[in-house]
Structure 1
Amino acid sequence: MTRGSSPAAALDAWLWRHNRRPPASATSAQVTVTEGSIRIRRSGPAGASPTLVLLCDPPNMVEHYDQTLRALDACTASIMMELPGFGFSSVRRGRALEFMATVEAVEAALQQLGNGPWVLYGPCICGFVACEIARRGRVPVTGLVLAQVPDVAGMRAWCDRMDPQHRLRRPGLGQWLGRLGATRLTRFWYRFSTAAETDHEPLTATALRLLDAGAGYPLATMLQRWGPALTEESLDTPTLVLWGNNDRSHATTDRSSSLRHAPAAEIVEMEQCGHFPDLEQPERFAQLVGDFLIRLSDTTGPVIETPS
């Protein structure tokens, strides 16, 4: 577990402390971990193997993925998972927002949810969480699906473009700006990062409704504290990499830099798609993931095993 935390991370945990319950849902649940709880949602056929674990890309929360999960139900069981401190996943202290603490919390949740095997879906900076979990080998990961995930240099360049004046990355100031400006940041992000063909208003409305209901979005600590911990060690885990080509935030990112995570990965570029392949083109996303799982089953066994 990450030892200690910065005062700024502690401030973010305090600013985003959860005072309200998450929206009532028959399909969502909380998994208790050492430093708080992780909110999940299960979907798909019982007994499916492997299970696809999708890490929510903040400010997305489990409520954003209804269409995605319905599309995926035809090919796999899925678990949506909000990161510690984001959405309605709670943290007890600032150190739970650190990168390695996030990795360990997701691992702990997976260990409680079953024996796997898991295929991890990591979008954007969450892809580094997925890769680190695969590298550590504490839980059985048989495949990775990454979306909008460059190498470390590309990720840091992305942060520079998104925060050119380093306001959000200034400890203390960034935490206050992130908290007080969450509505403005959320509106800007969905408008800027989605493709012109995507109606981003439903995504924005869902995020704003949930933020108003008490959801967390400690973006400043993620931007400030995760960078030094990111790695790009080469993995031999079977990997599918997706790139939405109309993502303005990654307009200058080298797509091939994803191969530094998994040199043998297959890269698929999706036209008329922005930062969120899973949300902007759920049917296409499910098809690509389903085909990947079929290829994966050729070496690891059946994709779906249903009880008789």
Structure 2
Amino acid sequence: MDPSLLDTHPSSPVQSARLSEWARTSRTGVRYVETEAVWFRVREGGAGGPAVVFFADGPNALEHHDPIFNRLSQWTRVVVVDPPGFGFSTPKPNFDFTVGAFADGYAELLTSLGGPFVLCPTCTNVYPSALIAAQRPELVSHLILMQALDWDQEKMWTGKIVDPDGDLAKPFIGQKLNYRTRTTAPATWYPNALGAQDLAETFLKQSCECFAHGGNFCLASLIQNWFGPGVDSPSFLTFVQPALAVWGMNDRSHRRSDKRSLLNIAPHARYVEREGVGHFPEIEDPLWFEALLKDFLRDGG
């Protein structure tokens, strides 16, 4: 039995997230989009201009993106996505949590939304975004890749920082641990990841509200199906769209990381460092990110 079935089986507690009335009404512009393998929860707003897409990086959900959503939707179209198994997007039984499954799900979602898009992924969402840019270039006009390493170093970072005891990587045990600890994990993560400690309470409060209404955090299934024994590393083909490789330098979880290794996935990307912010640059300093985005789009990369 595939341990990720604990998350994808119709009777799994993960599946109840899509039934949450709060998840459908917490913000304006929220709706569900069904794809072959995922029920995606998305929020859309704004109009005109380039279409900009953000992917929530668990334990964040799309609600955490309010600061940047509110700014950008004043002048362009904005889409925020809960990833499969995180927030309130629910994977179907045929979703296997591989990086390819994430890429396929996102590509189908983006196709249904109509593009092309400026993709702004953070951390794990960088990898499926890079795959889409190479395999489905018609869907992607620009990329702003944030807070990610090359694949081999991301695997090592996950083992040292995210799952240092290796419990999440253990089939079945990891999924059950996720169910027990998903509401307490953010209290440890945010002080370590955020650039300014005075933001931790706001981020934590929002996460707690999402979890209180049935939000998900299927990190064990992701770790097992991305980095587990016998899992092949993805091949990142060259993509040509203009790209930025952005790092928040006050992310304590990455204080020893080789941040420029992200350029192994996007060799042509312009490398950008931002002091004073951490793991979520676009949310922690939305004013700066908005200016960065405008300059990037105006200059054509």
TM-score w.r.t. the length of structure 1 is 0.88
Give, in angstroms, the shift of residue 239 of structure 1. Answer: 0.4
> Which stretch of structure 1 is more off in the superposition, 240-249 or 11-20?
11-20
Q: Is the 8 A contact 1:71 1:286 kept in 2?
A: yes
Partner of 1:223: helix, strand, or coil? helix
2:125 partner amino acid: C
Change (3 A) 1:252 1:230: farther
Give, in angstroms, the shift of residue 33 of structure 1. Answer: 0.6
Kindly report structure 1 stretches of 4+ aligned residues shifted beyond 6 Å. Answer: none
Q: Which residue of 1 aligns with 2:37?
A: 35
Q: Which residue of 1 aligns with 2:69?
A: 69
Q: Which residue of 2 aligns with 1:302?
A: none
Equivalent residues, number: 289
2:225 partner amino acid: R
Change (3 A) 1:231 1:148: farther
1:102 partner amino acid: F
Change (3 A) 1:238 1:57: same
Q: Is the 8 A contact 2:31 2:43 kept in 1?
A: yes
Q: Which residue of 1 aligns with 2:160?
A: 161
Q: Is the 8 A contact 1:8 1:175 kept in 2?
A: yes
> Which stretch of structure 1 is more off in the superposition, 227-236 or 285-294?
227-236
2:194 partner amino acid: T
Change (3 A) 1:259 1:138: closer
Alpha-carbon distance between aligned partners in 2 of 1:132 and 1:171, rounded to the nearest angstrom: 26
> Which stretch of structure 1 is more off in the superposition, 179-188 or 66-75?
66-75
Alpha-carbon distance between aligned partners in 1 of 2:137 and 2:298, rounded to the nearest angstrom: 24
Higher RCO by CA contacts (8 Å cutoff, separation 6 or greater): 1
Q: Is the 8 A contact 1:133 1:139 kept in 2?
A: no
Alpha-carbon distance between aligned partners in 1 of 2:181 and 2:260, rounded to the nearest angstrom: 34
Q: Does the alignment pair 1:117 with 2:121?
A: no
- 1:87-119 Cα distance to aligned partner (Å, 9 max, x none): 1112221635332222111111111111x1111
Give, in angstroms, the shift of residue 138 of structure 1. Answer: 6.2
Q: Which residue of 1 aligns with 2:278?
A: 274
Work out which of the residue numbers 6, 9, 17 in structure 1 matches 2:4: 9
- 1:229-254 Cα distance to aligned partner (Å, 9 max, x none): 44443332210111010111111111
Q: Is the 8 A contact 1:107 1:138 kept in 2?
A: no
> Which stretch of structure 1 is more off in the superposition, 187-196 or 71-80?
71-80
Alpha-carbon distance between aligned partners in 1 of 2:84 and 2:96, rounded to the nearest angstrom: 7
Change (3 A) 1:56 1:253: same
Alpha-carbon distance between aligned partners in 2 of 1:144 and 1:75, rounded to the nearest angstrom: 19
Q: Which residue of 1 aligns with 2:48?
A: 47
1:275 partner amino acid: H
Percent of paired sites with the same residue = 30
Q: Does the alignment pair 1:247 with 2:251?
A: yes
Change (3 A) 1:191 1:37: same
- 1:63-110 Cα distance to aligned partner (Å, 9 max, x none): 111111122235532111111121111222163533222211111111
Give, in angstroms, the shift of residue 296 of structure 1. Answer: 2.0
1:57 partner amino acid: D
Give, in angstroms, the shift of residue 201 of structure 1. Answer: 0.8
Q: Which residue of 1 aligns with 2:260?
A: 256
1:27 partner amino acid: G
**Unpaired runs of at least 5, structure 1:** 1-5, 298-308
- 1:183-221 Cα distance to aligned partner (Å, 9 max, x none): 221211112111245421111111111111011110101
TM-score w.r.t. the length of structure 2 is 0.90
Alpha-carbon distance between aligned partners in 1 of 2:33 and 2:137, rounded to the nearest angstrom: 18
Alignment of 1:1-308 (within 5 A): 7-13=2-8, 14-18=12-16, 20-21=19-20, 22-24=23-25, 25-44=27-46, 46-48=47-49, 50-93=50-93, 95-114=95-114, 116-137=115-136, 139-162=138-161, 163-227=163-227, 228=231, 229-296=233-300
Change (3 A) 1:167 1:233: same
Give, in angstroms, the shift of residue 124 of structure 1. Answer: 0.5
Partner of 1:203: helix, strand, or coil? helix
Give, in angstroms, the shift of residue 176 of structure 1. Answer: 0.7
